Amino acid sequence: MEPNEDEATEPETCIKAVFFDLDDTLVLTHAADRAAHMAVTELLNQRHPFLDQQVIIDTFVKGFITQPWDPNNQIDVTEWRAQIWCRALEAQGVNDIQLAREMQRCFDTTRMTSFQLSPGVEAMVKKILLNRIKVGIITNGHPKVQRAKLLACRADELFNTILVGGGR
């Protein structure tokens, strides 16, 4: 069977690589955040049950969205976020940087424990790899945070290329 004229003139196309975003694409980041917020709420309930934990969480989220890390890169990102927690506590009348740091540790630990590839992602990536197509991740944010997330979901075991940009 001879190719028709249209088939003969079209260039052969071949996909060489596919790149995915990490947060809320390969991993349900918001679900990990919710689990972390719940853990912080439990910690707060143990230490200061009279506080409005939801207001503290909401205040933290607002501060986090506004400026998730020090724009001048003078303060470590973990300490920066502890300071956001501290301001949220102060808005409720509690001035306790040590508790705020503990809240940030609780948040980070719970978030990273929950930070796993979404169902079906591993099988999809393996299927793409079987077709000899390279698979990569492009993610942005603070490099320390993004690298911790990549480690938590074991991205290096599955993806050929990982690009982390932004933040510094």
Predicted confidence at residue 139, as pLDDT, reads: 95
Residue 57 sits in the same domain as residue 108: yes
Predicted confidence at residue 88, as pLDDT, reads: 97
Residue 107 sits in the same domain as residue 149: no
Indicate whether 20 pLDDT > 70.
yes
Nearest to 22 by CA among 154, 168, 167: 154
Residue 91 sits in the same domain as residue 128: no
65-111: pLDDT as tens digits = 999 999 998 999 999 999 999 999 999 999 999 999 999 999 999 99
Position with higher pLDDT, 167 vs 43:
43
| CB 116 within 8 Å of CB 153 | yes
Indicate whether 8 pLDDT > 90.
no
| CB 22 within 8 Å of CB 155 | yes
**142: domain CATH number?**
3.40.50.1000
Q: Which of 76, 91, 114 is the last residue of a domain?
A: 114
Residue 83 sits in the same domain as residue 160: no
Residue 126 sits in the same domain as residue 161: yes
Predicted confidence at residue 165, as pLDDT, reads: 86
Distance between first and last Cα of the chain: 58
Residue 64 sits in the same domain as residue 124: no
Q: Please, what is the Cα angle at 167 between 22 and 141, to 5 degrees?
A: 15
Residue 45 sits in the same domain as residue 72: yes
The amino acid occupying position 18 is V
Indicate whether 9 pLDDT > 90.
no
Predicted confidence at residue 82, as pLDDT, reads: 98
**80: domain CATH number?**
1.20.120.710
**What six digits make up the tokens of 146?**
């993004």
- The structure's pTM equals 0.86
Residue 33 sits in the same domain as residue 20: no
Range of the domain at 127: 5-25+116-165
Dihedral sign of CA atoms 60, 30, 41, 105 in order: negative
| CB 146 within 8 Å of CB 28 | no
The arithmetic mean of pLDDT across residues 27-49, rounded, is: 97
How many separate domains does the chain show? Answer: 2
Q: Please, what is the Cα angle at 46 between 84 and 64, to 5 degrees?
A: 15
Residue 86 sits in the same domain as residue 137: no
**What six digits make up the tokens of 97?**
């940087």
Residue 154 sits in the same domain as residue 130: yes
The arithmetic mean of pLDDT across residues 44-53, rounded, is: 95
Predicted confidence at residue 86, as pLDDT, reads: 98
Residue 86 sits in the same domain as residue 45: yes
